[in-house]
Structure 1
Amino acid sequence: MRLLLFKVLLMILPSGLISEEKDYIREYYGNGTLMAEGWKEGNVKEDYWYYYFPDGKIQKKGAYKNNRQNGYWYFYTPQGKLLREGHFIKGKKNGWWKEYESTYVRELKYNDGKREGFALIYMKGDLKKVEKYSNDIKMGEWTSLLGFKRDNPNVKF
């Protein structure tokens, strides 16, 4: 793996001059194709990063804070289709995520890296199935909206 490095020096603060170095890193596969690129402060990944498959297509992209995935990320298949997207907080999945499969789209919620709450499965834009998770364990599944409403009368969506 080869590295290419660009240095940026920041020096403006209201309290006086303080220098902070940020490096823009490019990492390459053995064949010379770009593998990843993004910002580092010292050895710590910060800000936006891009990762590529060996053929040069985008694999994933998103931001880091303190060497951990943080913020909204996108993940792609080797064919270039969006595979999943969602939020990270301190390196763990949090909030709503979307997963794209060939025949359906799943929207599910994560809390501290674990599936939590309801997962909604859509086929061609229509809700077809609902799953319920607690602490990353599947607690139930409904393929009938009537059955779901009967078992979960207080849930509105």
Structure 2
Amino acid sequence: MRAVVQRVAEAAVVVDGECVGSIDGPGLCVLVGVTHEDTPAKAAQLARKLWTLRLFDPETGETGEAAGGSGGERSCSDFGAPLLVISQFTLYGDARKGRRPTWNAAAPGPVAEPLVDAVVAELRALGAKVETGRFGADMKVSLVNDGPFTVLLEV
């Protein structure tokens, strides 16, 4: 599994003009991609990593200048920061050859959707407030990336 993690002040996802998920930060906006070899165990591992990743200011949980513009000593689990988790098969796009990406490494929907759902379920079981996008939908994602701060995770 692959995740692009963005520390945000706020984030939202809209489908067909309807807001289906939003968070007010500080929090994390997480784009999750699934490949063919991924398993429920990897989904649980990714969830635990997201919940405990130390990206926030040690004193306030704030981001940006208060955190020195970089990672900190507190994680979402330390102060209940929300997460917006959005499936994104394009994280496994490969454009090394030619000008058109291939998607061969991305798992098909029937494989990927339950694993993205498993990440969300495990985060919630850990105590996280989690909002989501809608799997397979044409989503419009907006966010205020605080820092900016973006991390790529692979499990």
Q: Name the TM-score class by shorter chain.
A: under 0.3
Structure whose CA Rg is larger: 1
TM score, norm. by length of structure 1: 0.21
Larger RCO of the pair (alpha carbons < 8 Å, separation 6+): 2
Compare the two structures and name the one with the higher helix fraction.
2
Compare the two structures and name the one with the higher strand fraction.
1
